[in-house]
């Protein structure tokens, strides 16, 4: 049995890690860390956990790298941007396994991080030790696993076959992504206030979203002809879910049948990626509560435009679920351990 610690337990992704790890037969949570709730018993802070005896002994603690390394085999950072950048160095020097859900180690160039996150980056030598691991394509090469962002995950899975198999015109890609409110974390803001979010839709961070550079960096590894993409993000009044509509013009002499075959081939062996049958497009209910990415395809010959609809649960595939999938690969566990879930029907 491996022992893990969660930093940021009182946040949405931290709690989702706890929920999913509860169903994992090879892992036990031995330490939980926070800031504003330090000293509180987990079951007192979250009374919904009171029926579960294994959490009765967990008290939220102040971050302590030495203690974590002495008591656990791996640590998750489920903390806002800027925290892992400050606290990860001891783990990296000791090559202690980390899975970082934040964006702090996704961009290896410090100036790129500082431009898109508007905060100081970690040191270049530390950034170089991190591995950006998109779990349906990659397995971890180092002990510091940088979990992709939620929008980036959905977008990259949406685009992968098109870039890997050279199927589209790279100057024609438009990604229109929409997220539920849990994507913004638990901190209340004006835009996430119920009255502003309910029965409303709003676009935000247009052309400035921090996931743009990690998407482009990854696309470049698949296709050297990659060009900038048009990328927008909107807030929709649901709790969980990311809905990504992607549009692109097919390259000369490429047919829709070839595109469909490329998606089916790319994801044939991916347990967590479903390519919907011809004529079917997925919706959020297809994936909420699961680690699944569902992808549907459509083509308009009049405009030579391919539409790809991709949906994920931002807290599972977009955060905690992918982190556990990466952990399963890292420890050579069954990829599905803790993640073999049906959608909430
Ligand atoms: N929500 C989502 O769908 C996704 C989130 N992410 C990323 O995952 C990370 C966590 O996101 P999310 O769960 O939404 O965030 P939340 O805002 O919901 O929670 C963040 C948690 O981090 C804790 N925290 C802050 N500073 C520290 C610290 N110094 N030491 C220990 N704990 C600390 C907070 O505790 P306290 O309140 O006590 O300060 C809080 O519980 C972020 O980087 C986010 O960008 C990635 C993909 C998707
Ligand atoms: C709805 C909403 O606000 N979503 C957040 C996603 C934040 C996130 O996942 O941040 P990092 O992956 O960069 O850490 C956003 O768009 O910024």
Could you give the CA distance from residue 328 to residue 266 in angstroms, rounded to a whole number? 21
Which of 58, 150, 156, 229 is the catalytic position?
Answer: 150
Average pLDDT over the chain, rounded to an integer:
97
Predicted pLDDT of residue 147: 98
Q: Which atom of ligand 1 is nearest to the CA of 314?
A: 3
| Phi-psi region at 253: left, alpha or beta (left = phi > 0; alpha = psi -120 to 50) | left
In a domain, 166, yes or no: yes
Q: Does residue 9 lie within any of the structural domains?
A: yes
- What is residue 276's three-state secondary structure? coil
Domain count, the chain: 2
Are 110 and 176 members of one domain?
no
For residue 163, pLDDT over 90 is answered with yes
Read off the pLDDT of residues 67-106 as tens digits, 9 standing for 90 and up: 999 999 999 999 999 999 999 999 999 999 999 999 999 9
Q: Which ligand lies nearest the alpha carbon of 236?
A: 2
pLDDT score of 315: 98
Number of H helices, E strands in the chain: 12, 13
Residue that wins the pLDDT comparison between 188 and 20? 20
| Cα 219 to ligand 1 centre (Å) | 27
130 shares its domain with 168? no
Check whether residue 177 and residue 219 sit in a common domain: yes
How far apart are the C-alpha atoms of 9 and 42, rounded to whole Å?
9
Residues 263/282, Cβ–Cβ less than 8 Å: no
Q: 111: exposed, middle or buried (C-beta count within 10 Å: 0-12, 13-18, 19+)?
A: exposed
Look at the block and give the residue holding tokens 């993000």.
233
So what's the ipTM on this one?
A: 0.97
Pocket flag, ligand 1, residue 14 (CB < 6 Å): yes
Which CATH number covers residue 98?
3.40.50.720
For residue range 174-212, what is the model confidence (pLDDT) as tens digits?
Answer: 999 999 999 999 998 998 899 999 999 999 999 999 999
Query: Do 163 and 273 lie in a common domain?
Result: yes
Quick one: 322 and 295 in the same domain?
Answer: no
Among the bound ligands, name the one nearest to the CA of residue 81: 1
Q: Which ligand is nearest to the CA of 187?
A: 1
345 falls in which pLDDT band (50, 70, 90)? confident
Residue 43 lies in a domain: yes
Residue 34 lies in a domain: yes
Q: Are residues 195 and 135 in the same domain?
A: no
Q: Classify residue 345: in a domain, yes or no.
A: no
- The CA distance from 298 to 40, in Å, is 51
Give the atom of ligand 1 at the shortest distance from the alpha carbon of 101.
8
Assessment of whether the complete model's pTM goes beyond 0.95 = yes
User: Residue 35 has what pLDDT?
Assistant: 97
Residue 273: phi and psi, rounded to 5, are -125, 125
- Domain limits for position 82: 2-148+317-330
Is residue 286 pLDDT above 90, yes or no?
Answer: yes
Residue 150 appears among annotated catalytic residues: yes
Nearest-CA residue for ligand 1 atom 35 is 34
Phi, psi of 12, deg, nearest 5: -65, -45
Q: What is the pLDDT of residues 116-161, one digit of tens each?
A: 999 999 999 999 999 999 999 999 999 999 999 999 999 999 999 9
| Distance in Å from the first CA to the final CA of the chain | 32
Ligand 2 — pocket residues by CB below 6 A? 81, 102-103, 149-150, 179, 183-184, 210, 233, 235
Tell me, yes or no, whether 342 lies in a domain: no
* Residues 76 and 135 reside in one and the same domain: yes
- Looking at the domain assignment, is residue 339 inside a domain? no
Same structural domain, 297 and 155: yes
Residues 61 and 112 in one domain: yes
Looking at residue 272, which CATH number applies to its domain? 3.30.360.10
Q: Which atom of ligand 2 is nearest to the CA of 148?
A: 12
Statement to judge: residues 241 and 141 lie in one domain: no
- Same domain as 21, residue 107: yes
In a domain, 340, yes or no: no
Let me know whether 304 and 156 are in one domain: yes
Q: Whose CA is nearest to atom 2 of ligand 2?
A: 184
């Amino acid at each position: 049995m491996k022992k893990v610690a969660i930093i940021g337990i009182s946040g949405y992704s931290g709690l989702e890690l706890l929920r999913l790890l509860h169903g994992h037969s090879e892992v036990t949570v031995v330490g939980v860390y926070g800031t504003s709730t330090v000293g509180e018993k987990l079951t007192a802070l979250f009374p919904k956990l009171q029926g579960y005896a294994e959490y009765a002994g967990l008290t939220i603690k102040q971050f302590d790298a030495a203690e974590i390394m002495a008591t656990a085999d791996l640590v998750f950072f489920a903390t806002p941007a800027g925290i892992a950048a400050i606290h990860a160095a001891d783990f990296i020097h000791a090559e202690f396994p980390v899975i970082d859900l934040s964006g702090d180690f996704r961009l290896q160039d410090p100036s790129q991080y500082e431009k898109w996150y508007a905060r100081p980056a970690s040191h270049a030598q530390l950034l170089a030790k991190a591995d950006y691991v998109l779990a349906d394509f990659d397995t971890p090469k180092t002990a510091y696993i940088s979990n992709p962002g939620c929008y980036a995950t959905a977008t990259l899975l949406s685009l992968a076959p098109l870039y890997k198999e050279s199927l589209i015109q790279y100057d024609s890609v438009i990604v229109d992504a929409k997220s539920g409110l849990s994507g913004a974390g638990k901190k209340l803001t004006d835009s996430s206030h119920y009255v502003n979010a309910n029965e409303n839709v709003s676009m935000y961070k247009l052309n400035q979203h921090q996931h743009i550079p990690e998407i482009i960096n990854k696309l470049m590894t698949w296709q050297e002809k990659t060009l900038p993409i048009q990328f927008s993000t909107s807030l929709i009044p649901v709790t969980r879910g990311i809905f990504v509509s992607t549009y692109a013009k097919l390259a000369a002499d490429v047919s829709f049948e070839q595109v469909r075959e490329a998606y089916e081939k790319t994801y044939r062996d991916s347990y967590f990626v479903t390519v919907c049958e011809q004529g079917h497009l997925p919706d959020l209910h297809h994936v909420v509560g699961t680690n699944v990415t569902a992808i549907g395809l459509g083509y308009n010959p009049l405009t030579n435009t391919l539409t790809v609809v991709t949906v994920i649960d931002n807290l599972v595939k977009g955060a905690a679920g992918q982190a556990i999938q990466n952990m399963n690969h890292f420890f050579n566990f069954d990829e599905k351990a803790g993640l073999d879930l049906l959608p909430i029907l």
